[in-house]
Chains A and B, each alone.
Chain A
Amino acid sequence: MSFVEYGETIKDGDTAIVFLGHESMFPVKVQHGTVTQTKYGVIRHSTDLIGKKYGSKVTCSKGGWVFILHPTPELWTMNLPHRTQILYSTDISIITMMLELKPGSIVCESGTGSGSLSHALIRTVAPTGHLYTVEFHQQRAEKAREEFREHGVEHLVTVTNQDVCKNGFGVSNIADAVFLDIPSPWEAIGHAKSALKAEGGRICSFSPCIEQVQRTCLAMEEYGFTEINTLEILLRVYNVRTISLQIPDLGKAAEDNSSTGFDSSKPSHQASPCANLQQGTVQFKSGVPLREVVGHTGYLTFATKT
């Protein structure tokens, strides 16, 4: 296992994702002799996990079962221990594409935070690229280093414990891209510019508030960045449901039901109490938006150094 390379079987020391059910999962560190408790019973690592294929169904002691998944940055993002607010995969995807990251890219990031974006960046720039990440909080920097080691990607990342606004990224003229997720990104734009390669590169700053964006844009302009562009991306997730709607009784003659075009070929799995499948209801599949969705994460400001 590694976050940058697929493996077939589960090995001692791997980080694996235990999938319990819809959106319910957690990471485990696989170790000989260890057990993990789930609501379906106990998983014994030595016998239940090690040597098995990733993607296998594992039966727990109470007869329940779970799936064991290969770790990916996306699964990690959904399951990592939060030390800070994190970036989710929707924002991460557009950041990765707009920063034009690919194998071999050199990236600077600050702050490291919980390492959600860091894992995704490392995945993309591997095996020849490198991530220089700066975190001013000593404990968080330590924790991130530890995680990178556990996940088998430490050779692709350098964690520096310093203040990026004062001391910069600790490197100069080597980066293809810079990412900033700090409270005052405008104070780090100068350092970002000097971290980027002389022949140019891309920069992105993530800020929740528009005032931060304005100051950042002004700073970018001042430092000669071009193609400054601010955008926001939101994800809308749909639940797939079979919906049945009742046909109102308008007192029409019973034989005139050809026009209603019943589409009730498939009875719903969860025969909900009120849905009687007689004539008088119409069923259809629908993608229903979740009741509550993320309305705002942050503004993403991109620019180019030429």
Chain B
Amino acid sequence: RKIIFEKQWFYLDNAIGHIYGTTFEVTSGGNLQPKQEVEETTTETKEAGTDNRNIVDDGKSQKLTHDDIKALKDKGIKGQEIVQQLIENSTTFRDKTEFAQDKYIKKKKKKYEAVVTIVKPSTRILSTMYYAREPGKINHLRYDTLAQMLTLGNIHAGNKMIVMETCAGLVLGAVMERMGGYGSIIQMYPGGGPVRAATSCFGFPKAFFDNLHEFPLSKVQSLLSGTFTTETLPAEPEENALVEEESNGLSEEKQPSLQETEEEPAAEAPMEINPAEEQDTMDINAEDVEFKESKEKENKENVREKQIKQWERRKKLQEAAALLREKNADGLIVASKFHPTPLLLSLLEFVAPSRPFVVYCQYKEPLLECYTKLRERGGVINLKLSESWLRNYQVLPDRSHPKLTMSGGGGYLLSGITVVWERGKPDCSNSEALKVEEPSSKRCKLQDLPC
């Protein structure tokens, strides 16, 4: 199957059987496997200038014309050789400083030597990739913020987690990776079904899904009030879920050609992702066609199948409801496009005391409100509103500095720990809140005390 990535197209067949991390060079159509390390002997001309006082930008320093370069490309000459040609035909190259020469070569290499590295999916790769390519789909959750969530939430094997996310299933996948198939996860979903486009990119073994449950958000209130039944399911979930996934897959496909990313790991991952998603869409289409053809014949069977499916879904829903009813979850992770306050006030009821919870929001203001409301409610301590900053560095001999661009925002987190909730005495918990958090003068005194 043909894959398009960064204005290149290729087939993945040749990549099978190689270890992860192998770098491939793209030829006309297939994949070729070059060596891991290309000998860095291209700069045998160790001639270099010291400064740029005599370098004038007249636009004529490159003697090869646009058409010449195109001709070289069309002949299928190796990218490495094109770069060499460019260097030889640059009149100013020799006058450039050694560092500038380095930079020039790197830039040209990036353009002409098409190499791709195939790497194994992980939270690191996928979250960096999603943030670079599809930030809108994950509510601009930057990867370091996701990392904070996993740590603050004390995600580990054996937990019983509640996850409410609208981040294409990326947060769910990250939690699943950290739990390694031990314990259970209940995913709360809005609408007709959970979106797990990103989750499927992780390539988790089937066993990981055995203890993954889902529960519709719209049923939370009835579950809390004890009027929950499975008779009224949310509108036909399968179809909805598929439609959403399909649209996901489509836009994902378009994406690579639209956008250029500089970072290698981020840029590499989509190749692995796209096939999976494309597969999804194709399957769906195929199914549709089949459906129409055999509509009449297998109508009865279809109905039966539907019934079985529905029954199975009910059973799973019952299981999830039972897990929630125990109200002893080991943590709550929220990262959605919805207002966090109502989500938290309801979902925290399912969490056991002395367990961490983390809420992500792209904006600070809703979390300020959430903070205030949680204080009023009580049953939580150690509330903390935070944001992380990430700065990347270029480290080269004599040329180390922070990278020119850094991300403007990666969202905010509100975290805390649940405690035994004395619902009967709301005043008490309110005064507690006052006593514990509010007066800043007292806080300073507290810290001074030796305890």
The distance in angstroms between the C-alpha atoms of A67 and B144, with both chains bound, is 30
Interface membership of chain B positions 372-392, coded 1 if the CB is closer than 8 angstroms to chain A and 0 otherwise: 100000000111111111111
Min C-beta distance of A166 to chain B, whole Å: 26
Q: For chain A residues 251-271, which have a beta carbon within 8 Å of chain B?
A: 269-270
- B104 at interface, CB cutoff 8 A: no
Which single residue of chain A is at the shortest CB-CB distance from B179? A103
Interface residues as binary, B306-337 with A (CB distance below 8 Å gives 1, 0 otherwise):
00000000000000000000001010000000
Residues of A near any B CB (own CB < 8 A): 4-6, 8, 19-24, 26, 38-39, 53-57, 67-70, 72-74, 89-90, 92-94, 96-98, 100, 102-104, 120, 123-124, 126-128, 199-200, 210, 213-214, 217-218, 224, 226-240, 269-270, 285-287, 299, 301, 304, 306
Q: How far is the CA of A68 from the CA of B400 in the complex (A)?
A: 47
Bound form: Cα–Cα A210–B401 in Å: 9
Which of B214-222, B269-277, B413-421 faces chain A?
Answer: B413-421
Tell whether, in the assembled complex, residue B123 and residue A100 are in contact, meaning their CB atoms are under 8 Å apart. yes
Query: Are A103 and B353 in touch, CB under 8 angstroms?
Result: no
B393–A232 contact, CB under 8 A? yes
Alpha-carbon distance A214/B397, docked complex (angstroms):
7
Binding site for A on B (CB under 8 A): 19-22, 36-37, 122-124, 127, 143-144, 146-148, 150-152, 154, 156-159, 177-182, 264-265, 328, 330, 352-356, 364-365, 367-369, 371-372, 381-397, 400, 417-420, 422, 434-440, 443, 446-447, 449, 451
- The answer to whether B388 and A240 touch across the interface, beta carbons within 8 angstroms, is no
Contact of A127 among B157, B265, B396 (CB under 8 A): B157
Q: Verify B152–A89 contact, CB threshold 8 A.
A: yes
CA of A69 to CA of B443 in the docked complex: distance in angstroms?
20
Most chain A beta-carbon contacts within 10 A, residue among B353, B443, B449 = B353
Q: 27 A-B Cβ contacts within 8 A?
A: A19-B381, A26-B451, A53-B353, A53-B354, A55-B355, A55-B417, A55-B420, A69-B354, A74-B154, A74-B356, A93-B151, A94-B147, A96-B147, A96-B151, A100-B124, A103-B178, A103-B180, A104-B180, A127-B157, A200-B20, A213-B400, A214-B395, A228-B395, A230-B393, A232-B390, A233-B391, A306-B19
Chain A residue nearest in CB terms to B433: A269
Q: Are B392 and A39 in contact (CB under 8 A)?
A: no
Contacts of A287 in B (CB 8 A): 364, 367-368, 385
Minimum CB–CB distance from B356 to chain A (whole Å) comes to 7
Query: When A72-B356, A100-B122, A233-B389 are in contact, do A22 and B443 touch as well, CB less than 8 Å?
Result: yes
CB atoms of A55 and B147 under 8 A apart: no
Asked, given contacts A55-B418, A103-B182, whether A6 binds B397 with beta carbons under 8 Å apart, the answer is: no
Interchain CB contact under 8 A, B395 and A94: no
B143-A73 in contact (CB<8A): no
Please give, as numbers and ranges, the residues of chain A lying within 8 Å of B353 by CB-CB distance. Answer: 53-56
Q: Quick check: B182 and A286 within 8 Å, CB to CB?
A: no
Q: Is the CB of B381 within 8 A of A67?
A: yes
Q: Nearest chain-A residue to B447 (Cβ)?
A: A24
Q: Which residues of B contact A57 (CB under 8 A)?
A: 419-420, 422
Interface centre among A128, A234, A237, A238 (most CB of B within 10 A): A238
Q: Which 4 A-B pairs have the closest CB atoms?
A: A55-B353, A103-B180, A55-B354, A306-B21
Question: By the criterion CB–CB under 8 Å, are B151 and A227 in contact?
Answer: no
- Of B158, B354, B417, B436, the most chain A CB neighbours within 10 A belong to B354
- Residue of A26, A90, A229 touching B388 (CB-CB under 8 A): A90
Are B151 and A74 in contact (CB-based, < 8 A)?
yes
B418 close to A210 (CB less than 8 A): no
Please indicate the chain A residues that have their CB under 8 angstroms from the CB of B397 in the complex. Answer: 214, 218
Q: How far, in Å, is A56 (CB) from chain B's closest CB?
A: 5
Q: Is the CB of A20 within 8 A of B446?
A: yes
Given A53-B420, A285-B369, A217 contacting B395 (CB threshold 8 A): yes
Q: How far is the CA of A92 from the CA of B179 in the complex (A)?
A: 17
CB distance from A192 to the nearest CB of B (A): 17
Distance of B259 from chain A, by nearest CB (Å): 20
Q: Which residues of the partner chain B approach A199 to less than 8 Å between Cβ atoms? A: 19
A95 to B443, CA, bound (A): 32
| Neighbouring B residues of A224 by C-beta, 8 Å | 37
* Contact between chains at A92 and B151 (CB < 8 Å): yes
CA distance A4 to B179 in the complex (A): 12
CA–CA, A111 to B230, complex, Å? 54
Complex CA–CA separation, A204 to B385 (angstroms): 28
Find the A residue at minimum CB distance from B385: A238
Say how far A176's CB is from chain B's closest CB, in angstroms.
11
- With A96-B150, A230-B395 as contacts: A126 and B156 at CB distance below 8 Å: yes
The answer to whether A124 touches B156 (Cβ under 8 A) is yes
B181 vs chain A, min Cβ distance (A): 8
Across the interface, do A231 and B392 meet the contact criterion of CB distance under 8 Å? yes
**Do residues A213 and B392 form an inter-chain contact, with CB atoms below 8 A?**
no
The answer for the CA separation of A236 and B443 in the assembled complex, in Å, is 19
Chain B residues whose C-beta falls within 8 Å of the C-beta of A74 in the assembled complex: 151-152, 154, 356
B148 lies within 8 A of A90 (CB): yes
A306 to chain B, nearest CB (A): 4
Most buried by B among A5, A89, A269, A286: A269
Contact residues in A for B177 (Cβ distance below 8 Å): 102
| B97 to A: closest C-beta gap in Å | 19
The answer on a CB contact under 8 Å between A210 and B400 is yes
Smallest distance from the beta carbon of A218 to chain B beta carbons, Å? 7
Q: Which residues of chain B come closer than 8 Å to A269, judged between CB atoms?
A: 434, 438
Complex Cα distance A181/B369, Å?
Answer: 40
Interchain CA distance A123-B150 in the complex, whole Å: 12
Q: How far is it, in angstroms, between the C-alpha of A270 and the C-alpha of B439 when the chains are bound?
A: 7
The answer to whether A127 touches B364 (Cβ under 8 A) is no
How far, in whole Å, are A123 and B372 apart by their CA atoms in the complex?
32
Using Cβ atoms and an 8 Å threshold, which residues of chain B touch A301?
395
Q: Which of A73, A127, A231 gathers most chain B CB within 10 Å?
A: A231
Residue of A nearest to B367 (CB): A287
Picked from B159, B386, B400, the residue with its CB within 8 Å of the CB of A214 is: B400
Are B436 and A22 within 8 A (Cβ)?
A: yes
Q: A24-B449, A56-B353, A230-B392 are in contact. List 4 more A-B contacts (CB 8 A).
A: A24-B447, A55-B419, A214-B395, A231-B393
Residues from chain A with Cβ under 8 Å of B150 in the complex: 93, 96-97
Residues of B contacting A217 in the complex (Cβ-Cβ under 8 angstroms): 395-396
Known: A233-B144, A237-B385. A24 touches B446 (CB 8 A): yes
- Whether A236 pairs with B387 at a CB distance below 8 angstroms is yes
Given A97-B124, A200-B21, A231-B393, verify A19-B388 contact (CB < 8 Å): no
Given A24-B447, A57-B420, A100-B122, A70–B354 Cβ distance below 8 Å? Answer: yes
CB pair B400–A238 under 8 Å, yes or no, is no
Contacts of B422 in A (CB 8 A): 57
Residues of A within 8 A of B147 (CB): 93-94, 96-98
Shortest Cβ distance from B115 into chain A, in angstroms?
12
**Which residues of chain B are near A23, meaning CB under 8 Å?**
382, 443, 447
